[in-house]
Amino acid sequence: MTDSPRPVIRLDKVGRRFPGPPPVDALREATFSVEAREHVAIMGPSGSGKSTLLNLIGLLDTPTSGKYELDGADVAQLDEHTRTALRRDAIGFVFQDFYLMAGRSAWENVALAMVYTGVSAKQRMIRAKQALDRVGLDHRHDALPTTMSGGERQRVAIARALANQPQLLLCDEPTGNLDSATTEQVMALIADLNGEGMTVLTITHDPATAAWASRRLMISDGRIPA
Amino acid sequence: MLTMLGTVLGVGCFVAVLGLTATAAGQIAQDFSTQLATAVQVNDAGADSTSDRVRSFTDDAEQRLARLNGVDSSGVAWSVSVNPTITGPLGGSGTNQIQVMAASSGYLDAALPIWASGRVYTQFQQEHRLAVVVLGQATAQRLGVSEAGETIFLDGTPHLVTGILKDVATRPELLASVLLPASTALERFGDPTSLSPASMLIRTDLGAAQQVASEAARQLRPDDPSLLAVVPPPDPPRMASVISTSMQALFTALAGVTLLIGGAAIANTTLVSVMERTQEIGLRRALGANPGDIVTQFLLETVILGALSGLVGASLGLITVIIVAVSQHWTALIDSWVVFASPGIGAGVGLIAGLYPAWRAGHINPIQALRH
């Protein structure tokens, strides 16, 4: 990775067809790029193809047409194992539903992201607590998710996304389950991370959330107009 | 907890069954030592195709055997060849469907009788060929005889009932018969036939049976020992080993089936667990877990659960064996390998049971899992 601006994400006529029946083109010839340190929001109504796009960019799915490059690597040329490793090391996910494990403390949830990186258990704990400190939860290391507010839970999820120090933060409706005041706090935190150099791609249907991005793209019926 | 329950029950049954088998086999071996191991049978093999009647035992056979070391009691018996009509004390039409046996008092003593009423006929009654009988309890009830001292009729001739047998250690056919003194039967019905020849039963001291068996034929008929066929008792240690082996094979198979059911329960519960944790699987995949990582995780969980369940099951199985042994006044016996191998057996069951659920977990589509 270099510090000079360059495309972290580059999509060239990327499409995703689900064979059905009936066959559905969830994404059609999507072409755009996201530069390093950019915060881009992709907006669109339900069923417009937002989630399909996020899954492709997050390497959870593969395009059926076109070319997708992540940090210069053509993901179509990568095998499943390499794609998984790239997802683990380069991408942090923030989901609308947080996906925290109810029976584990905040720091244990954050440490889960490092289980597959070969980091020792002790280091996982130290780094998890540092990540929680970074998102303002230094007093909630040992709290269970069930005892936390929605904003706190999303901050734990953001700390988990930061744990492996990824290059790209993918946020899928990060404020979908939050009230407006908490939305403000969470998006401010994401903006801070972007300010520190992290590339952020946020998918949302909420204009207030999208407003925090430096650039906004619209998606409709699987198409992203130029 | 449900996942554990299957293996706990499986391994618990496995340990309990093997322990109870060993304990019961040990107990049976003891029983053999004290009952069958002291009984020697001598059969009359002197019959040939040209002879209708045969009696290879001499009149002083019991006295001859009494001179052997280790002989406690002995006697001769046979089924009489005719079926007299037998009538109870209350009269009636009578029956000829009850077996009549000739049996000396020594034979009855050697069968280790338990008396419901009265006793065996006396020496005097035998020497004078008196009309006396001993009845098995079932026969007595059938004839309407309630206690010794009553009279039954054989072909209209009254016979005094001197005793009623409640039980015998060997020769259960005695309980379903009318028993006459051998001397009385000889006079009334003649020698035994070649179809139902006489046999002798010898009760020996513990440990003397094999020696007595080796000497009995020559002692009884030194002129022609080949007229007699001696059946020694089963060798107690060998018999115990045979019983123990066959019982263990049977119950090990039973324990195996129990474990199989336990394994199926684990597999089923783990499969349910995979379904319930689909979202967690999706999250782990999103965080960088390979399908192999997910498979390994679930397999590790089932192996650890299996090993822990094996430990708990072994403890419960041991407790069961001890409780049963104590309540039955048995000596608890269990192979130590069964206890020490139980966690390994549990882990093995967990591993096998976890294979399919783990494989399924590893191949769940992460996108669908996150939407679950």
- Nearby residues of B22 by Cβ (< 8 Å), 6 or more positions away: B244, B248, B333, B334, B335
d(CA B51, CA B45): 12
d(CA A34, CA A7): 5
Question: Do B256 and B214 fall into the same domain?
Answer: no
d(CA A207, CA A216): 10
Q: Which of B280, B284, B366 faces A60 most closely, judged by CB atoms?
A: B366
d(CA B119, CA B149): 10
Which domain does B14 fall in, by range? 2-31+238-371
Question: Which pLDDT band holds residue B142 (cuts at 50, 70, 90)?
Answer: confident
d(CA B20, CA B320): 9
If you average pLDDT over residues B55-72, what whole number do you get? Answer: 88
* Chain A residues lying within 8 Å of B279, measured CB to CB: 99
Q: What is the pLDDT of residues A123-163, one digit of tens each?
A: 999 999 998 998 888 898 999 999 988 888 988 998 898 88
Tokens 């129990």 — which residue? B258
How far is CA A40 from its chain centroid?
11
Is the pLDDT at B194 greater than 90, yes or no? no
CB contact under 8 A, A95 and B284: no
Question: Do B186 and B274 fall into the same domain?
Answer: no
* Number of domains comprising chain B: 2
DSSP state of B159: E
* Final residue before a domain boundary, out of B201, B233, B265: B233
- What's the angle, vertex CA A202, arms to CA B281 and CA A13, rounded to 5? 90
Question: Do B15 and B112 fall into the same domain?
Answer: no
Question: Do B353 and B220 fall into the same domain?
Answer: no
The alpha carbon dihedral of B285, B287, B293, B299 has a sign of negative
* Final residue before a domain boundary, out of B233, B258, B276: B233
Question: Do B218 and B325 fall into the same domain?
Answer: no
CA distances from A81 to A11, B146, B209, B234, B281 (A): 22, 90, 77, 69, 17
* Chain A residues lying within 8 Å of B289, measured CB to CB: 84, 115-116
ipTM of the assembly? 0.86
CB contact under 8 A, A58 and B283: no
User: Does residue B278 contact residue B369 with C-beta atoms inside 8 Å?
Assistant: yes
Q: What is the pLDDT of residues A25-77, one digit of tens each?
A: 888 888 999 998 999 999 988 888 888 899 999 998 889 999 999 988 898 88
Specify the CATH superfamily of domain A7-218. P-loop containing nucleotide triphosphate hydrolases (3.40.50.300)
Question: Which pLDDT band holds residue B20 (cuts at 50, 70, 90)?
Answer: confident
- Six token digits for residue B161: 């009932």
Tokens 């199985």 — which residue? B317
CB contact under 8 A, B285 and A60: yes
* Chain A residues lying within 8 Å of B367, measured CB to CB: 55, 60-61
3-state secondary structure of B101: strand
Question: Do B196 and B170 fall into the same domain?
Answer: yes
Question: Do B76 and B164 fall into the same domain?
Answer: yes
Question: Do B224 and B340 fall into the same domain?
Answer: no
Q: By a Cβ cutoff of 8 Å, what residues of chain B touch chain A?
A: 279-280, 282-291, 293, 366-367, 370
One-letter amino acid identity for B8? V
d(CA B229, CA B280): 79
Is the pLDDT at A2 greater than 50, yes or no? no
Instruction: Say if residue B252 is exposed, middle or buried (CB neighbours under 10 Å; 0-12, 13-18, 19+).
Output: middle
Question: Do B76 and B112 fall into the same domain?
Answer: yes
Chain B residue with CA closest to A111: the answer is B287
* Final residue before a domain boundary, out of B233, B249, B276: B233
